Amino acid sequence: MDKRSKIYIAGHNGLVGSAISRLLESKGFSNVVTLNSNELDLRNQSAVASFFKKEKPEFVFLAAAKVGGILANETYPAEFIYDNTVIQSNVIHHSYLNGVKKLLFLGSSCIYPKLAPQPMKEDYLLTGLLEQTNEPYAIAKIAGIKMCNAYNKQYGTNFISVMPTNLYGINDNFNLTTSHVLPALIRKFHEARIKGSKSVEIWGTGRPKREFLYVDDLAEACLFIMCNIDYPQLGEFINIGTGKDITIRELAEVIKEITEFKGNIKFDLSKPDGTFRKLLDVSKINNLGWKSKTSIIDGIRETYKWYLEHNNDW
């Protein structure tokens, strides 16, 4: 892939897609194709077929997905499995039919079994039961990995899959119904400070540990892989993360300090924790030459700064 290659970013308005778009622009890639969901519904097979036949992209970043935290997954399980399965199937299949040179499919660390050993190696896929709170989404993402691998084996394509850990950053989703834990906490603490609230309530015990990757670091990893590593060397898929985790309680304390909230933190023990720990083994990608560079504190500061500039959107 070079600066003149025709590149399609599916999901360019989302957290991951927008980070990839910003990075490509900063690096001088000048032939990037993007369409929002009103212009191209990726669930519509005929529309996707027409798009690929017309545009003929050479490289595809498949970042389009329906995403959300525990509450969203529990509320909309049918949409999470249907939308994600159909979107990725349409894009992968029509990339093959139209001769795409390389496709990068973005999955999620929730593909791993609930009780997988920590840190989670790529080899642990499908070795146990999934976490029930996000099983439909996880099954869709596993199907995407297997679909890319099947097309590589049968058709000789170069479709690669990456599994990032929990993401956050610029252009995140701060809707309290559908967001993930980190942006939700940023909004909660910010609004509590503005209202003068005495406390902020958080789901669960605060003991589970999570790994968080700043989305601009993920974009760097995706570009690194797209330009340097092909399917046979990469394998079925590869983890992308920091290799470090933090408890939800510790995360809340960091966000409390950054947002300058002076009240207390309360934990609602009646709400689910989700998987107790989800730490990725990132030795594979580290050994190939990429490592994350943004600390959790610096990343949250940048994310909060962006939120302050856009909080009227939420």
* Two tokens, residue 220: 């760097």
Question: What residue ranges do the domains of the chain occupy?
Answer: 7-169+212-242+278-294
**Predicted TM-score (pTM) of this structure:** 0.94
Q: Tens digits of per-residue pLDDT, 187-211? A: 999 999 999 999 999 989 999 999 9
* Two tokens, residue 314: 């939420």
What residues form the annotated binding site?
Answer: 11-17, 106-109, 141, 164-167, 180, 188, 203, 210, 273
Q: How confident is the model at residue 133 (pLDDT cuts 50, 70, 90)?
A: confident
- Mean of the pLDDT values across residues 116-132? 95
DSSP 119-185: SBPGGGTTSSPPPGGGHHHHHHHHHHHHHHHHHHHHH---EEEEEE-EEE-TT----TTT--HHHHH
What residues form the annotated binding site for substrate?
Answer: 188, 203, 210, 273
Q: How far apart are CA 194 and CA 102, in angstroms?
A: 47
pLDDT for residue 180? 83
* Two tokens, residue 137: 């989404």
What residues form the annotated binding site for NADP(+)?
Answer: 11-17, 106-109, 141, 164-167, 180
- Measured CA to CA in angstroms, residue 202 lies from 181, 188, 214, 228, 249 at distances of 9, 9, 22, 42, 9
Name, in order, each residue with C-beta under 8 angstroms of 106's C-beta and a sequence gap of 6 or more.
16, 61, 62, 63, 65, 161, 162, 164, 222
Q: Tens digits of per-residue pLDDT, 244-266? A: 999 999 999 999 999 999 999 99
- Measured CA to CA in angstroms, residue 306 lies from 8, 89, 168, 183 at distances of 26, 33, 12, 11
Q: How confident is the model at residue 69 (pLDDT cuts 50, 70, 90)?
A: confident
Average pLDDT, rounded, for the chain: 95
Q: How far apart are CA 109 and CA 278, in angstroms?
A: 7
Q: Which residues are paired to 201 by β-bridges? A: 266
155 is catalytic: no
In single-letter form, the type of residue at position 28 comes to G
Query: Does the domain made of 7-169+212-242+278-294 have the CATH classification 3.40.50.720?
Result: yes
pLDDT for residue 188? 96
CA atoms within 13 A on the CB side of 239: 28
| CA dihedral for 269, 271, 276, 279, sign (positive or negative) | negative
- Name the catalytic one among 137, 151, 231, 307: 137
